[in-house]
């Protein structure tokens, strides 16, 4: 028997620029995956997107591969999960889809798979790991540049049930 | 300025869903593979998606590659290619007339710290078609000291409708706790 799923948990369209967006009060009793989608411009320069959980700043690690139109590259980070190698610009949006698997499991680190694109700059893919067995109760999309996500940027959070 | 948003609550009821959970398998003991069979009963879905989080049961060797077979076919009826990065550089590879669809490392070995798992999201497009060879694509990755992120595609050179999909590693068993969920995506 099929089970309806892919529920929208929260959605926001920025009415003021922001350096981060946090989805809080995520139920730890649900089982399955979380999916974050982003369509974001920068208020100046460019931004980026690091995903964090439960208000923590450690321990995160990731690997990214990307193309900038003329070459391809890969790098690893032992301090963050970058959902894209670069982020949105003032007139060129960046779009991201990121999955957090088994977000409420207390016997697994949290694995993240993400795809990010900015049409004039890059196509990228990310694998990340938050080395914690805590259930995810909040998700923050954090910009580590001095710029902000611009007004009109859209952030959505979905849950995909697995049971 | 930071923007904080409390949840609106899950959207129950309302419009019919076009994306539905069909089955989930969570291993309670080690297993050589996770197989979803009887997919013919899901022919009213245009596409299928599998989301898997896994770990190798063995502690030796490196991170394990994700391999996929369809309809139990072990003949040389598969082609594949991938683009991957491992933190230092990127590369691509491909194969034809293979006995399986080969991906890149997706699952850490058991010698890694407890709790480390890798993951993949696998799409089967038009899985019930009887006029097209079946195409599979997947995003897979593992961050375990042997980091890998890969975008892969595979071809099953057979126009039969897909009735089963087998997910397994290039070496050894999947560990207890590994989980795969099968979803159906409706079409017209």
CATH number of B165's domain: 2.60.120
Place of tokens 């710290």: B113
- The stretch A120-134 carries a mean pLDDT of 96
The domain that holds A123 is classified in CATH as 2.60.120
Please tell me the least confidently modeled range out of A148-157, B2-11, B79-88.
B2-11
A71 is a domain residue: yes
A122 is a domain residue: yes
- The stretch B96-124 carries a mean pLDDT of 95
A3-4 and B90-98 beta bridge pairing? unpaired
Query: How confident is the model at residue B5, as a pLDDT?
Result: 66
In this complex, is the C-beta atom of A85 within 8 Å of any C-beta atom belonging to chain B?
no
In this complex, is the C-beta atom of A160 within 8 Å of any C-beta atom belonging to chain B?
yes
Query: How confident is the model at residue B20, as a pLDDT?
Result: 94
Which residues pair with residue A3 across a beta bridge?
B21
Above 70 in pLDDT, residue A139? Answer: yes
Query: How confident is the model at residue B126, as a pLDDT?
Result: 95
B2 is a domain residue: no
pLDDT in tens, B28-82: 999 999 999 999 999 999 999 999 999 999 998 899 999 999 999 999 999 999 9
A126 is a domain residue: yes
As for how many domains chain B has, the answer is 1
CB contact under 8 A, B88 and A74: yes
Residue B7: pLDDT band with limits 50, 70, 90: low
State whether the Cα torsion B49-A2-B17-A127 is positive or negative.
negative
Above 80 in pLDDT, residue B6? Answer: no
A109 is a domain residue: yes
Both tokens of residue B101?
């669809």
A129 is a domain residue: yes
In this complex, is the C-beta atom of A163 within 8 Å of any C-beta atom belonging to chain B?
yes
Identify which of B80, B142, B136 has the alpha carbon closest to the alpha carbon of residue B106.
Answer: B142
A79 is a domain residue: yes
B142 is a domain residue: yes
| More confident: A26 or B188 | A26
Q: What is the domain range of residue B73? A: 20-186
Nearest-by-Cβ selection for A4 from B20, B117, B149: B20
B3 is a domain residue: no
Share of chain B above pLDDT 70, in %: 93
pLDDT in tens, A18-70: 999 999 999 988 899 999 999 999 999 999 999 999 999 999 999 999 999 89
The per-residue b/e assignment along B45-55, b for 16 or more CB within 10 angstroms, e otherwise, is bbbbbbbbbbb
Q: What is the domain range of residue A56? A: 7-161
CB contact under 8 A, A113 and B139: yes
CB contact under 8 A, A18 and B142: no
Contact B47, B82 (CB under 8 A): no
A14 is a domain residue: yes
Query: How confident is the model at residue B145, as a pLDDT?
Result: 85
Average pLDDT, chain A: 95
A69 is a domain residue: yes
Residue B10: pLDDT band with limits 50, 70, 90: very low
Query: How confident is the model at residue A86, as a pLDDT?
Result: 85
As for how many domains chain A has, the answer is 1
Query: How confident is the model at residue B12, as a pLDDT?
Result: 44
Q: Which residues of B touch A24 (CB under 8 A)?
A: 4-7
pLDDT in tens, B137-166: 999 999 998 899 999 999 999 999 999 999
B2-6 and A20-24 beta bridge pairing? parallel
B54 is a domain residue: yes
CA distance B79 to B153: 8
B59 is a domain residue: yes
């Amino acid at each position: 028997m099929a089970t309806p799923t892919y529920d929208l948990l929260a959605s926001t369209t920025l009415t003021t620029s922001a350096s981060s967006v946090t989805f809080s009060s995520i139920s730890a009793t649900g089982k399955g995956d979380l999916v974050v989608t982003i369509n974001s411009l920068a208020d100046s320069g460019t931004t980026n997107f690091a995903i964090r959980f439960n208000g923590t700043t450690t321990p995160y690690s990731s690997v990214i591969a990307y193309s900038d139109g003329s070459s391809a590259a890969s790098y690893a980070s032992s301090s963050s999960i970058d959902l894209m190698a670069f982020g949105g610009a003032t007139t060129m949006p960046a779009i991201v889809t990121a999955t957090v698997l088994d977000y409420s499991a207390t016997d697994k680190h949290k694995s993240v798979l993400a795809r990010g694109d900015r049409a004039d700059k890059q196509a990228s893919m990310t694998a990340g790991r938050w080395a914690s067995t805590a259930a995810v109760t909040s998700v923050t999309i954090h910009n580590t540049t001095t710029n902000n996500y611009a007004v009109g940027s859209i952030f959505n959070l979905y849950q995909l049930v697995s049971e | 300025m930071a923007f904080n948003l409390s949840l609106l609550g899950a959207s129950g009821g309302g419009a019919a869903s076009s994306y539905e959970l069909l089955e989930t398998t969570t291993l309670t003991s080690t297993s050589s593979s996770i197989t979803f069979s009887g997919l013919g009963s899901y022919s009213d879905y245009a596409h299928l998606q599998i989301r898997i989080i896994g770990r190798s049961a063995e502690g030796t060797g490196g991170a394990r590659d994700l391999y996929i077979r369809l309809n139990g076919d072990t003949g040389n009826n598969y082609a594949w290619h991938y683009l991957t990065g491992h933190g230092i550089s990127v590369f691509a590879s491909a194969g034809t007339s293979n006995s399986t669809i080969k991906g890149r490392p997706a699952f850490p070995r058991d010698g890694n710290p407890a709790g480390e798992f890798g993951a993949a999201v696998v799409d089967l497009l038009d899985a019930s078609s009887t006029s097209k060879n079946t195409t599979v694509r997947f995003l897979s990755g593992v961050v375990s000291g042997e980091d890998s992120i890969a975008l892969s595609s595979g071809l099953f050179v057979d126009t039969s409708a897909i009735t089963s999909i087998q997910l397994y590693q290039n070496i050894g068993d999947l560990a207890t706790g590994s989980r795969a969920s099968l979803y159906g995506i409706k079409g017209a």
